[in-house]
Structure 1
Amino acid sequence: MNKISILDCTLRDGGYVNDFDFSKGTIQTIISKLGKAHMDIIECGFLRDIIYDENKSLYSDVEQITPLIKTKKKHSMYVAMIVTGTISASQIAPRTKDSIDGIRITFHKKEIDEAFTLGYALMDKGYEIFMQPVGTTTYTDIEILSLVERINEMKPYAFYLVDTLGKLYAKQLLKLFYLVDDNLDEDITIGYHSHNNLQLSFSNAQALIQSCGKRNLIIDASILGMGRGAGNLCSEIIAQYINENIEYRYHTELLIELVDEYINPISYLHPWGYSAGYFLAATNNCHPNYIGFLLNKQTLNMKRIYQVLKEIPEEERALYNEKLIDSLYLKFQENEVDDKEVLEKISKIIKGKRIVVAAPGKSLIDEKNKIQEFLKEENSVIFCVNSIPEYMNPDILFVSNQKRYHQLKKEYNVKNLPFPVLLTSNIDGGKAMDFVVNYSDLVMEDPMISDNACLMLFNLFIKIGVDEIFTVGFDGYHTNVERNYYDQRLINSSDREKLSTINKHIQKYMKKIESHMEVHYVTDSIYDRSRSDVR
């Protein structure tokens, strides 16, 4: 009878969600409870050539993992993963009875020779080796058979089918499985690692289990499906399926305890799971990181994200290339215009006036009375950014975000507003829009904040010689997204993990802004360097 095993990769693949920052105690508890739950294979994290931090599931030596698995369960195998090229075999100590039992090696097509050299070296040190080609779906049948031939010579513990793009339907997966199964040495286990972009991880796992015949099979999963983007197959779900349909083996109540005590709190700060964006990634054969990049820009609706994905060359879609997607995004946004006359008009409007920038932060509500008192002073010109607070009468509405423009267009007839609408040239506002400035002249070189609306407006002010502005609602980002905007309709499904990083990049850029122009923060802002907690 074949053996169906579950490999839990929460601490490894799930670690992409929270930058592997679980804490030492949490790592120990997760490993311990997975063992007590009778999980077959427990992946403890990555092995990399790094400076070790005991609070992260990243290790520079297997001996750093040993204390975390000191109560090894006989029914469980303990493993770690190496990305080919990130650590050498000479840095890995030989296997002992107390160390991890196996090492998974992941590699791209161009790294096959290097991966096999690493695999043989680690086998010589006593480890069970799992060979895991990235994006198996990008291989031709001939390439698969050639790789399987080398795998048969090597005789590792397992060879993997990896649906990196989360795009395979059961029929396609089984075709790939049968191709490998018919040609792979019968003593080598086949593994399956999926991503849940099309919500197919569980159904595909069932199809494999029902069709694998005599072949030993490993199914990868993680607690609550923890993993970047759309996430993975849920360990607790596949474990319960095996309990009810094959044999009772796993204590799923312990997995649910891990969900409740450790994984749910992480998901509140760093959410993952199915979304329309990851659907587009899978159906366009694109690496999910492309979608993550575009979603985090918070400027494009799904229609325009789809248009950007279509511009990615076919040969570049399966493997993530950040420089490529950044250049395509900027190219998509650019639409050069001659804005000399517009800049002159703006200069005349603001001449001799006190410039107030109203960003859409939550302080517009929290500090409403203070703002209204401040705005009573005459001789002000108010620029509202990407929104119109109901108690304000702006002199100019600045819009640099296509998604926000569509929202405003639905709520107001923007062409009939009693004040000018100033658009950047990436916005399709129609020919009737008189105030349009060049998008490319205002963006930042830093891709993390390249087209932040407030910073673009500040750059415009510097360009026309403004030497002083006042800001309200320029609060900064919170990981609790409900605190980011005065109107919940403005909340984006952004990656919360990156929000604090964005703050740091904006803080750095504001130093440059303030070297050209004096900025007064009327409402509370994390960018206000006069605050004691801002350096």
Structure 2
Amino acid sequence: MKNVKLLDCTLRDGARIINCEVPDKDIKKIISRLTESHIDYVEVGFLRDHRKLTYKRGSTFFTSVKQIEPFIDVDTKSNTKYLAFVDYGMFDFDSLDECDGKSVDGIRVGFTKGDYEKERKNLLAAFEKVKQKGYMLFIQGVNSLGYTDSEILELCGMLNEIMPYGFGIVDTYGSMYLEDVDRIYSIVNHNLDKRIAIDFHAHNNRQMAFALSQEVMRLDAGRREIIIDATLEGMGKCAGNLNIELMVDLLTKKHKYDYNFDLLLDTIDECLYEIKQNHEWGYTVPNLMGGIYQTHPNNVLYLNDKFRLNNKDIKNIVSMIAQEKKHHYDYDYLENLYLEYSESKIDDSKSLEFIKDTFNGKSVLILAPGRSIIDFKADIDKFAEEEKPIIVSVNFISGYKDSFAFFGNKKRYENTEGTKSNERLIATTNVTLDDSKNKVINFYSLIDRRYKMYDNSVMMLLSLLNIAGVKKITLAGCDGYSETVADNYFDSEFGNNRHRKQFGEINCNVGGMLSDFINKVSGRIEVKFLTPSIYQQYIK
């Protein structure tokens, strides 16, 4: 008995790229061909609220299961099960007809984390209503990466009480790596009732959908029913979905399943050719950015189509999207981000060329403004004399001969004398746009908005030195924040004791960023601390 089963969602998730406008003859042909190909589950489309949407022919946005009946031949359905998908909040469950065997066999209900937190009672009632009406209940928690381990455990407890037929792990933004799948699947598998199937739905932003689906199969090792979602030719908005033909090829050749590969290819030729000519999906760099920053695909599409930006600009603007905005799309908001980004962007090619020529292959001593640059000044002076590194201070001008100063903080820049005429000063565009004397670098090219402390000046400088191709980086004055000392800086003007309660969180965040940077450049750039630092405990 096969434990891995395939669910085709071409007419649902795949059809989103054409707003679910599929000719009736193609809806019927795709369902029929998938059935003849022995695909285990066929998702025929969405169920929407009849009070807000009027069903029209040539669409897979249905408002009643009765509208689906003409597309399903109950006499030839064999072992294939037919499903409809409901986005919680977009369907009236009171209008759901009894399951009579003439239409779909099951209902998949997708919900967001917000739904789970704010609408749990009503959500549970909707699940129960689906089961009471006689349907197989499948539950999809949107964006599994958005849940903590403890929240996944709590979710499993709820599912064990409801006992749906299946529960879906969903890589909504195509952001998962193998270790993400390993972690989430292991938690779900160990805590979910073994009678509940685990469904996996991947997107292809990182071209990982096929690999991640195989990883789910490996992790399960035949212990429970696994359902893998896929679409014909990977059809879907932006990066698209897992290609069902890849899974069919794998399962027929390696596991001797009885899917009909050739019939699927015929269906792609006959039903998807014209769609593919007029609509693009699959891996692109902008779609990769959507995966990296876990944002709604419409945000990437809008930036790509409206502004004709280059890939780097799309990356930078996507990284600016606020966390609470990432999972939705607000075109006015994106327009404002674009304007903000455009106003702060300069041609920094000459500045970058100078920095690369100056720093490439060199040893650099970074002087951060921590108190240790006073307490260990003798050690710093000795190092500077013996090693003769290029010295770069951060947010202040040091007294060392031929040293550079890097400013990533506008307040520090404006409060420091001599900044505007200093030709050995490097600043970011959030600090100044005047590059007549200073070497000015685009702010958004040096930050990673995935981190909370993305605008930390030391981290921006490290990013710039990585671009410049330095050989060695030595850190001094990069002390971290202590709640037990009166002043964490060499100069009291830097003090920020009003954030004292957040010092522990800041240390953890910056320490994690430093650790990630050191691991990233390992083998290319040697990084070490010259003076004591709280951050050293975070280095892995």
Q: Normalized against structure 1, the TM-score is what?
A: 0.61
CA contact under 8 A between 1:105 and 1:115: conserved in structure 2? no
Report the counterpart of residue 58 of structure 2 in structure 1: 55
Amino acid at match of 1:66: E
Residue 137, structure 1, aligned to residue 150, structure 2 = no
Amino acid at match of 1:173: V
Give the C-alpha shift of residue 286 in structure 1.
2.6
Report the counterpart of residue 76 of structure 1 in structure 2: 80
Amino acid at match of 1:333: S
Residue 283, structure 1, aligned to residue 292, structure 2 = yes
Amino acid at match of 2:88: T
Aligned-partner Cα distance in 2 for 1:316–1:190: 29
CA contact under 8 A between 1:44 and 1:78: conserved in structure 2? yes
Q: Deviations over 1:252-285 (max 9, x none)?
A: 1111011111112101111111001111221223
Counterparts of 1:164-243 in structure 2, within 5 Å, are 164-213=172-221, 214-243=223-252
Measured at CA, do residues 187 and 322 of structure 1 come closer, stay the same or move farther in structure 2, by a change above 3 Å? farther
Report the counterpart of residue 478 of structure 1 in structure 2: none
Report the counterpart of residue 305 of structure 1 in structure 2: 314
Q: Which runs of 5+ in 2 are unaligned?
A: 346-432, 437-540
Residue 105, structure 1, aligned to residue 109, structure 2 = yes
Give 3-state SS (helix, strand or coil) of 2:38's partner. Answer: coil
CA contact under 8 A between 2:113 and 2:146: conserved in structure 1? no
Aligned-partner Cα distance in 2 for 1:46–1:323: 28
Give the C-alpha shift of residue 70 in structure 1.
2.5
% identical equivalent positions:
34
Aligned-partner Cα distance in 1 for 2:250–2:344: 53
Give the C-alpha shift of residue 319 in structure 1.
4.4
Aligned-partner Cα distance in 1 for 2:59–2:157: 37
Aligned-partner Cα distance in 1 for 2:134–2:301: 39
Aligned-partner Cα distance in 2 for 1:318–1:192: 20
Amino acid at match of 2:22: F
Aligned-partner Cα distance in 2 for 1:190–1:316: 29
Report the counterpart of residue 119 of structure 1 in structure 2: 127
Give the C-alpha shift of residue 245 in structure 1.
1.2
Report the counterpart of residue 254 of structure 1 in structure 2: 263
Aligned-partner Cα distance in 2 for 1:77–1:183: 27
Amino acid at match of 1:61: S
Q: Deviations over 1:331-367 (max 9, x none)?
A: 333579xxxxxxxxxxxxxxxxxxxxxxxxxxxxxxx
Aligned-partner Cα distance in 1 for 2:141–2:311: 31
Amino acid at match of 2:16: Y
CA contact under 8 A between 1:221 and 1:233: conserved in structure 2? yes
Measured at CA, do residues 322 and 189 of structure 1 come closer, stay the same or move farther in structure 2, by a change above 3 Å? farther
Q: Which runs of 5+ in 1 are unaligned?
A: 337-427, 432-535
Report the counterpart of residue 381 of structure 1 in structure 2: none
Aligned-partner Cα distance in 2 for 1:304–1:429: 21
Give the C-alpha shift of residue 42 in structure 1.
0.3
Report the counterpart of residue 44 of structure 1 in structure 2: 44
Give the C-alpha shift of residue 289 in structure 1.
2.4
Q: 141, 151, 155: which one pairs with 2:163?
A: 155
Amino acid at match of 1:70: D
Give the C-alpha shift of residue 94 in structure 1.
0.6
Aligned-partner Cα distance in 2 for 1:281–1:296: 14
Give 3-state SS (helix, strand or coil) of 1:17's partner. Answer: helix
CA contact under 8 A between 1:229 and 1:272: conserved in structure 2? yes
Report the counterpart of residue 303 of structure 2 in structure 1: 294
Aligned-partner Cα distance in 2 for 1:170–1:322: 33
Counterparts of 1:14-25 in structure 2, within 5 Å, are 14-25=14-25
Aligned-partner Cα distance in 1 for 2:58–2:209: 30
Residue 265, structure 1, aligned to residue 274, structure 2 = yes
Aligned-partner Cα distance in 2 for 1:85–1:98: 26
Amino acid at match of 1:284: Y
Residue 94, structure 1, aligned to residue 98, structure 2 = yes
Measured at CA, do residues 105 and 333 of structure 1 come closer, stay the same or move farther in structure 2, by a change above 3 Å? same
CA contact under 8 A between 1:130 and 1:157: conserved in structure 2? yes
Give the C-alpha shift of residue 224 in structure 1.
0.3
Q: Deviations over 1:101-136 (max 9, x none)?
A: 000001111212133221111110001111101101
Q: 63, 69, 72: which one pairs with 1:66?
A: 69
CA contact under 8 A between 2:303 and 2:314: conserved in structure 1? yes
Report the counterpart of residue 3 of structure 1 in structure 2: 3
CA contact under 8 A between 2:8 and 2:232: conserved in structure 1? yes
Report the counterpart of residue 29 of structure 1 in structure 2: 29
CA contact under 8 A between 2:139 and 2:167: conserved in structure 1? yes
Report the counterpart of residue 498 of structure 1 in structure 2: none
Counterparts of 1:422-437 in structure 2, within 5 Å, are none
CA contact under 8 A between 1:132 and 1:159: conserved in structure 2? yes
Give 3-state SS (helix, strand or coil) of 2:251's partner. Answer: helix
State how many pairs are aligned: 340
Aligned-partner Cα distance in 2 for 1:273–1:61: 32
Q: Deviations over 1:453-503 (max 9, x none)?
A: xxxxxxxxxxxxxxxxxxxxxxxxxxxxxxxxxxxxxxxxxxxxxxxxxxx
Measured at CA, do residues 126 and 323 of structure 1 come closer, stay the same or move farther in structure 2, by a change above 3 Å? farther
CA contact under 8 A between 2:113 and 2:141: conserved in structure 1? yes
